[in-house]
A and B are shown apart, each in its own frame.
Chain A
């Protein structure tokens, strides 16, 4: 009884503080209380999405379409949709992800093409590092691009997780400078986002599940110190 009350109280606290509630296995009586809590929360009025979320998701969708447009990319097949066939974007090399990104952003941003391609000058503005799991197995790569705006690009493949995750970029003192959510589909993902901070401030990156498990991490050696 006390445990049940604590779980309900924690759920209510989360709604009131506008944060993600914890997971637990809810019983029938609890579900009725949780429904009431969500309904009472709704009475505070409708919530508009934040402009960074709206523009960030638009960029991501444009990027995903570009990656999938050459026939080697992805058609995201969510679980629960029987139709369609999933092709794996995460298994693509980072260079292919970068090439796809170029088609999306070249016309609209001032990012340096040399930095993106890594072939002509500005090499110091590009930083690539491997993403490794807890067993030090390479599961992907991160590339940071300095420019106006700056970008983080990433691909992941073969991670033992399916669902929403967060990419955390951290400074030299471990402070989280930036969080961006994306979705691992069958353990794979390709991800590109504008970052409103200088890549020079970033010391490490982690891919974290909603429950806090670190799926992969990367250290940008010699940076942010």
Chain B
């Protein structure tokens, strides 16, 4: 059990932020969504609840906040939070397994792509190169790099779907 609401906050803010960041991919939205979850949940939490119950409540609020976020931003959901499956992600620090899981999945997808598709996505997503830098690295024009990136993402998306099935 938590002694007070500050303890609830301190114990969960980092995990919740990391989870939101993983689901939206940028700091500004991750901060807004983390804040939204705490604003909505913290006045409703019962301090007599167990740590697991508190986290389950926070994750349920997080699922709602993320769904609303995507509805506002793109008109439909893009990523999801599953309060049961994602409960581990609220732990204080990410385990090596969690880190390697997401990286390994990405590597599996990238590994299934033709070399140029793989390389453009590696440069962009793993090395955070700008499109100009990626184009120079691959010796193509910026326009060609954009087309290459789009086609690579299309193929990566199909591979991701196949891996899930």
Which residues 57-81 of B have a CB within 8 angstroms of A? 61, 64-65, 67-68, 72-79
CB distance from B46 to the nearest CB of A (A): 13
Q: Check A34/B74 contact, CB under 8 A, given A20-B28, A181-B31.
A: yes
In-complex Cβ contact of A33 among B6, B24, B153 (8 A): B153
Which residues of B are in contact with A by a Cβ distance under 8 Å?
Answer: 5-6, 9-10, 13-14, 17-18, 21-32, 34-36, 38-40, 42-44, 61, 64-65, 67-68, 72-79, 94, 98-99, 102-103, 105-107, 109-110, 121, 124-126, 128-131, 146-147, 149-150, 153-154, 156-157, 160-161
A-B contact pairs, 25 of them (CB 8 A): A5-B150, A13-B131, A15-B25, A16-B128, A16-B130, A31-B74, A36-B157, A37-B125, A40-B109, A40-B110, A40-B121, A40-B125, A46-B94, A47-B21, A57-B9, A57-B38, A58-B6, A60-B35, A60-B39, A61-B38, A65-B42, A78-B40, A78-B65, A79-B68, A181-B35
Q: In the bound complex, do residue B149 and residue A9 qualify as a contact, i.e. CB atoms below 8 Å apart? A: yes
In-complex Cβ contact of A43 among B24, B34, B106, B157 (8 A): B106
In-complex Cβ contact of A42 among B25, B107, B128, B146 (8 A): B25
> Could you say which of A22-30, A94-102, A112-120, A199-207 contacts chain B?
A22-30
New A-B pairs, 8, CB < 8 Å, besides A36-B160, A64-B43: A8-B150, A21-B26, A21-B73, A36-B157, A39-B106, A46-B22, A58-B9, A181-B28
Dominant SS at the B interface? Answer: helix
Q: In the bound complex, do residue A78 and residue B64 qualify as a contact, i.e. CB atoms below 8 Å apart? A: yes
Interface membership of A76, Cβ < 8 A: yes
Interface membership of A68, Cβ < 8 A: yes
Across-interface contacts of B124 in A (CB, < 8 A): 12, 16
Which residues of A are in contact with B by a Cβ distance under 8 Å?
Answer: 5, 8-9, 12-16, 18-21, 23-26, 30-50, 53-54, 57-58, 60-62, 64-65, 68, 75-81, 83-84, 163-164, 181-183
B42, B94, B157, B160 — most chain A CB neighbours (10 Å): B157
Across-interface contacts of B146 in A (CB, < 8 A): 5, 9
Q: In the bound complex, do residue B42 and residue A48 qualify as a contact, i.e. CB atoms below 8 Å apart? A: no
Specify the chain A residue showing the minimal Cβ separation from B89.
A46
Specify the chain B residue showing the minimal Cβ separation from A20.
B28
Q: In the bound complex, do residue A23 and residue B94 qualify as a contact, i.e. CB atoms below 8 Å apart? A: no
Across-interface contacts of A26 in B (CB, < 8 A): 74-76, 78
Q: In the bound complex, do residue B75 and residue A183 qualify as a contact, i.e. CB atoms below 8 Å apart? A: no
Specify the chain A residue showing the minimal Cβ separation from B134.
A16
For the complex, what is the distance from the CA of A34 to the CA of B143, rounded to whole Å? 20
For the complex, what is the distance from the CA of A70 to the CA of B87, rounded to whole Å? 35
For the complex, what is the distance from the CA of A47 to the CA of B13, rounded to whole Å? 12
Across-interface contacts of B26 in A (CB, < 8 A): 14-15, 18-21
Specify the chain A residue showing the minimal Cβ separation from B123.
A16
